[in-house]
Structures are given as structure tokens and as C-alpha cells.
A and B are shown apart, each in its own frame.
Chain A
Amino acid sequence: MIPKPTVAAWLAFLLLLGGAPLSARAADLKFQIQLVWATDDAKPPTGKDYKPVEPAIRRQIKALKWKNYFEVRRIDFSVAPGATKRVPISEKCELDVKDLGKSNVEVVLFGKGKEVARVKQALHKGEIIVPGGDAPNETAWLAILQRVE
């Protein structure tokens, strides 16, 4: 004897049929890179219209001891689920960002085409990974990679 499905069973089936793919679909990860010049000078170099970094970012990089941080450039990009995105941040420097799923990312920093550093970790919304280095005259460069979404 064939069991006769109830209306509720039909509704549940249709709901699951439509809902499962939606819940399974992961969204793109959105990132922002801020190229920042760190200095003890009060103002950006003459002729450069650099703005101070936002207070929220300033708080996140409080471990660094420069007095001022100026935003040189900002790059927005997204990474599809499971994909890798290469983002050039200068002529000499590139970043690879790979989505590993479950908010995990792998960030590879390239200098002059060669891998310099590789970091694999969880990166939740708002968190940052900051490749950086010393620059002339007691200054520093930072490439602040922040997960936006």
C-alpha cells in the first residue's frame, strides 16, 4: 500500500528542496587592503594628500608605536568560495588571498615575484592581517588586509 503524503509532508519537502541549496551556498568573502605609511611626522609628505587612517583601524594596530598612519591607497576586492585572488599592491608587491572555507584564509605575500611569507588562519569580519616592514627615515609601510564581509 502506498503511503499517502500529507499536506505538511509536501510543504516540508518543497521547503527543504528550496532551502537546502540556499543554505549550502557560501558567499564571496569581501576584503579591503589599505596601504598605509607609518611615521612619527605629524603630516604627510609635501604634495601628498594622504588622509589619516580611520580610528577603528588605528585601534587595531595599536601594537605598533608610530605616532601617525596615513592611508596611501585603498583596494577593495572579493574572493569567491574556495578561490584564490591575486591583488597587486605595488610594482614589487602582490598578495594572494585564498578562501579556505569556514572563515579561514590563506594569505601569501610576494615580493618581486617570490614568495616572502605565508599565513593561514581564521579571519572573521573586521579582523586584519597586516604585512608590513621598515622603511627609510624611521618610517614603515603597512598593507592592512581587512575582511569586510
Chain B
Amino acid sequence: MINHEDQLKLQAYLDGELSEAEASEVANGLAQNQEAAALLAELRHTQGALAGFEEHIKLPESREFYWSKIQRQINAAQPAVDKGGTAGLFLLRFRRLLVPLTGVALVAVAALITLREFGPESVAVETSLADSGAMVYHDYSAGATFVWLSYPADNEMADNDDLDTFD
């Protein structure tokens, strides 16, 4: 039974990654260990099979130019962030908010206009008189409301010699 470390060493031997001394040691071991030799043969077979199916793509331009095109495409997808820095980021976020904000503003103005134009125009006329002798009269044609009070009473008014009763 070959342990894991020996399996890795066999793979390295196959790939030519061992030093000369290590490679010689492994080669000697293979002559005495049939299991190791079989594993190496299987690994070599697998390597050959994979190599046969490896696709070789030839680019019409240099490797650097090919990747620079990809880089430009990435940059083009994020213009505000990459070109504008912080200001660009702010503009990008503001643009995202602009459409919904405009919508909200439109709704708010429409609601405001509706409330102002079609909301309840006036409260019902309410009158509360603490003066029991008082009365209220509405002259709608003249746009006048009269609240006729018993105050100031005649006696109080009579106390004033001056006819300027409000003083």
C-alpha cells in the first residue's frame, strides 16, 4: 500500500519536479515496488489523455491587448464610479434617487393642490355666547355677521361722560 506522501512524490516525479537525487531514489523504488510502478503508469496514462484534449486557443491579438479590452469593458460598465471618483459616486446615487424623488414631489404637490382646492372650504358657523342677552345675526348678502351683546351694559356706558365709550 502506497501512502499519500509517496503518491505525491510519484506525481512530482512524473511532472519532473524532483531533484536529481530524489528522482533517482524514486526510480530505484519503482523497480522494487510493483504497486508504485502501476500507479505511475496510470498517472502517466491520465496525463497523456488530458494533454490530448487540451484546447489551444490562438488569440488574434497579444495577450496584454486581449486583457486590456476586457478591462475597458469593465470600466465602461461603471463610468461614474471609475471616472468621477467621489463626485461621480454622488451623482450616480443622486440619479438613482432623482426619478423616485420627482415622483414623490409630484404626488405631494398634487395632494397639496387637491387639499387646497377641494378640501373642506369652511367650518360650520359656530357661536357660543356667554352673554345670555346676546344674539347673532348673519347677513350673507352683505358678508356680515353681527354679534349683538348686552355688554357693555347701559349702566356702564352711562358712567362715561365721554361718548368715546371704547376708552
B149 touching A117, Cβ below 8 Å: yes
**A-side contacts of B98, CB under 8 Å:** 5, 9-10, 13
How many A-B residue pairs lie within 8 Å, measured between CB atoms? 168
Bound complex: CA A37 to CA B121 (Å)? 34
**A-side contacts of B136, CB under 8 Å:** 117, 119
- A-contact 0/1 string along B142-167, CB 8 Å cutoff: 11111111111010111000011111
**A-side contacts of B99, CB under 8 Å:** 3, 5, 9
A119 touching B146, Cβ below 8 Å: no
* Shortest CB distance A74–B (Å): 12
A2 touching B142, Cβ below 8 Å: no
Interface residues of B (CB under 8 A from A): 92, 95-96, 98-99, 101-102, 105-106, 108-109, 112-113, 116, 119-123, 125-131, 134, 136-137, 139, 142-152, 154, 156-158, 163-167
Interface residues of A (CB under 8 A from B): 2-5, 9-10, 12-13, 16-17, 19-20, 23-24, 35, 37, 44-45, 48, 59-64, 72-73, 89-93, 100, 102-104, 109, 111, 114-122, 124, 126-136, 139, 141, 143
